[in-house]
Amino acid sequence: MDIKRNYNYLLSDLSSLKGVGNKTTNLLKKKNINSIFDLLWKLPRSYTDRSLSSKIKDLKINEIQTVTVIPQKYSIPRIRNLPNRVLCKDETGEIDCVFFNSYEGYIKKILPIGKEVTISGKIKYFRNKYQLTNPKYISENSSIIKQKHNSYSLTEGISEKVYNKIILQIINNLPDIDEWHSKYILNKFDNISWNDSIKKLHKPENIGKFRENFYQRLAFDEIFSTFLVNSEIRKKIKKIKKTRKKFDTKKQNEIISKLNFSLTRDQNKTLDEINKDLCSENKMFRLLQGDVGSGKTIVSLLSAFNSINSGFQVAVMAPTEILARQHFLLAQKIFPKNIQIELLSGKSTYRNKKNILDRLLKKQIDIIFGTHALFQKKVEFKKLGLIIIDEQHKFGVNQRKKLSDKAGKDCDVLLMTATPIPRTLTMTIYGDMDLSIIREKPNIRKPVRTYSKLESKIEDVIKFIKKEIKLGNQIFWVCPLIEESKKIDHTSAIKKSEYLRKLFPNQVFLLHGKTTNDEKEIILNKFLKNDFKILVSTTIIEVGIDFPNANVIVIENANKFGLSQLHQLRGRVGRGNKESSCILMFKSNLSENAKKRINILKESNDGFWISEEDMKLRGFGDILGFKQSGIKNFKLADPIHNHNLFILAEKEIKRIEKEKEDISRFKPLIKLYDRADIINDIA
């Protein structure tokens, strides 16, 4: 293999590197370093300057120093566990090199008597003599030692010296990859190549220079490769020709006219975008993004109704059974009686499930609601024309692509999320899809008033809760932990439920992650029916169900949550037409960031603005658990600091799409950045 011309060298296994055996390979793989390319992104944190050489008389104790000496005498004790010593000299003095647990042969090899040797390490002083203990940097070639040596976040068992040798080996063998960017893009980064950028990235003097052209160029490559893959997926889906859906919007408007509220401008705009997709000969692959309580569900159901009136079946998948049932009941309420509606539930009897599956296959069911079980192999449709998936941020790009493929050519796909995220993240995470956004809240939704309260003032909160219960209202009480922890000073849900049960007998139920699904369904249904007044819970009540009678949420240790998560929790109330309140409880010793988060939440109910502020405070990788959803974090690019690069990448992708440019030159870029599995058939 011609290393210098073949970028596949960078995708090789670590064991192909000289001096890297199974032990080192396994240690690196523990840090998720699986290829040579992966090693390039483990950047130096700092460096040790060993370039300046000192004379023995000028050495400074407890500092790393470099000295050139001539070994004079070996002292190798015959008693085990005693250190081996080598007396070394220069024209100004003497120094002992001390070795513990080193073989005599090794010592004599690296420090030959009478040969000039350069040594670097931390200087000690013992019995009136300078001393170097177990020095790792020793060479007769002083140029190897006299340089700046990078310091990395190391895996245990790999020394800095070994790590530097591995990185240097890779840098020296970097292939001369043909440039993939246009002259216009290269000019933005002073025409620096990918190869030169990598070399500069690992130079000690460039640590932390995030604004330099080499760093910006590499960050842009990350962003652009993501956008390019998203673009290709979009194009592939758009190429799929489907049967146009034909329906009369008069029937849709009859349903709208019977609603007890008017659609917002955003809802109408989004409905028009979806209807246009449904009537197109190109397959729809659209994300409907909206803030909590913005009215996404009604838009999706109207889209479902139009698909049914085109002669197709519709499947609606929700993350939980109770949410699927809620959508099912709303459809029953607003759809005409001739529409056949079913719910596929885990609680359904075998006979009932078999009956539903038989009727689906015979097209005797128009729309079916359920959880992920809807997409099991045994669930077959006669003429599926639309899939609607609620709370889709659990799906990564690969999963979305597979879903679209599985749905068939005539089936449109509408994904929904109540997670407002910053534009740069939307471009990155959902760039493979067309996007509709609902920002406005329906007029019937009143802003949730948000207050902050010290934990020591809990009596005031209890008085407020008693007043709300007398008015017939219900309360969510959220705690960060299930049980008490000696290590973490957070309020536990169990302890708080016991405390509240004494104050409100027979009115408090507890819900947490260890509650079984069946118990959870029972408790939530009881709460929905207003059978009890206070639901104490961990954050599992974060996503989705409408409890119109719940108008107060108390969040303990609010400073321990991110802004976006607090906003999602707050969205559990204010679903009806009552005035609603969110009470953020906290301890007195708040950090500055915690104070900022609480003030931002008190200031606004706009989830999109809040998510932007959250990203500024916490960084993009941790917005509402996106780390946990399978989405890869960029290694260099950051949507806050590199916002301009995201915009540049978006413009370049649009230009390539408009000019229908051949993208085969980007094959190395896509393969290197580990996205070839998504569009692996690029020429």
Average pLDDT of span 446-469: 90
Maximum mean pLDDT: which of 3-12, 18-27, 651-660: 651-660
Whole-number pLDDT of residue 278: 95
Min mean pLDDT across 421-430, 571-580, 624-633 is at 624-633
Average pLDDT of span 306-333: 90
Sheet of strand 474-478, all strands in order from the earlier edge strand to the far edge = 449-454, 581-586, 550-555, 474-478, 534-537, 508-511
CB 668 within 8 A of CB 7: yes
Please identify which residue in the block is written with the tokens 């915009």. 647
Chain mean position to CA 192: 30
Amino acid at 573: V
Which of the pair, 557 or 270, is modelled with greater confidence? 270
Q: Is the pLDDT of residue 164 over 70?
A: yes
Mean pLDDT of the chain: 85
Chain mean position to CA 456: 36
Same fold, 1-45+163-175 and 449-604: no
Whole-number pLDDT of residue 623: 42
One-character DSSP codes across 270-298: HHHHHHHHHHSSBPPEEEEEE-TTS-HHH
Maximum mean pLDDT: which of 140-149, 184-193, 602-611: 184-193
Query: Which H, E and C letters describe 398-411, residue by residue?
Result: HHHHHHHHHHCCCC
Whole-number pLDDT of residue 681: 47
Q: Is the pLDDT of residue 626 over 60?
A: no
Whole-number pLDDT of residue 613: 82
Q: Is the pLDDT of residue 621 over 80?
A: no
Nearest alpha-carbon partner for 53 in 116, 113, 119, 6: 119
Whole-number pLDDT of residue 624: 39
* Cβ burial, residue 479 (10 Å; 0-12/13-18/19+): buried
In sequence order, the 6+-apart residues with CB closer than 8 A to the CB of 332 are: 341
Whole-number pLDDT of residue 394: 55
Q: Which CATH number fits domain 449-604: 3.60.21.10, 3.30.870.10, 3.40.50.2020, 3.40.50.300?
A: 3.40.50.300
CA distances from 138 to 70, 103, 110, 168, 428 (A): 12, 16, 7, 17, 48
* β-bridge pairing 550-555 and 148-151: unpaired
Domain ranges of the chain: 1-45+163-175, 51-146, 177-239+642-683, 249-438, 449-604
Q: Is the pLDDT of residue 675 over 60?
A: no
pLDDT digits (tens, 9 = 90+) for 48-75: 899 889 999 999 999 999 999 999 999 9
CATH class, 51-146 region: mainly beta
CB 556 within 8 A of CB 480: yes
Q: Is the pLDDT of residue 627 over 50?
A: no
- DSSP bridge pairs for 241: 282
Please identify which residue in the block is written with the tokens 């200087």. 123
CA angle 308/309/310 to nearest 5° reads 85
Q: Is the CATH code 3.40.50.300 the one for domain 249-438?
A: yes
Average pLDDT of span 538-552: 75
One-character DSSP codes across 586-652: E-S---HHHHHHHHHHHH---HHHHHHHHHHHH-GGGGGGGGGGTPPPPSS--TTTTHHHHHHHHHH
Whole-number pLDDT of residue 303: 96
Whole-number pLDDT of residue 633: 64
Whole-number pLDDT of residue 583: 94
Q: Is the pLDDT of residue 438 over 80?
A: yes
Maximum mean pLDDT: which of 336-350, 355-369, 402-416, 623-637: 355-369
C-alpha 118/C-alpha 116 separation (Å) is: 7
Whole-number pLDDT of residue 578: 78
Whole-number pLDDT of residue 676: 47
Structure confidence at residue 432 as a pLDDT band (50, 70, 90)? confident
Q: Is the pLDDT of residue 485 over 60?
A: no
Average pLDDT of span 149-155: 79
Q: Is the pLDDT of residue 425 over 80?
A: no
Query: Which H, E and C letters describe 15-58, residue by residue?
Result: HHCCCCCHHHHHHHHCCCCCEHHHHCCCCCCEEEECCCECCHHH
Sign of CA dihedral 230, 232, 234, 240: negative
Whole-number pLDDT of residue 260: 82
Provide the CATH number for the domain formed by 1-45+163-175 in this structure.
Answer: 1.10.150
In sequence order, the 6+-apart residues with CB closer than 8 A to the CB of 451 are: 581, 582, 583, 584, 602
Whole-number pLDDT of residue 629: 37
DSSP state of 83: P
Q: Is the pLDDT of residue 471 over 70?
A: yes
Q: Which two tokens stand for residue 384?
A: 């599926």
Whole-number pLDDT of residue 395: 58
Percent of the chain with pLDDT strictly greater than 90: 39
CB 584 within 8 A of CB 566: yes
CB 159 within 8 A of CB 136: yes
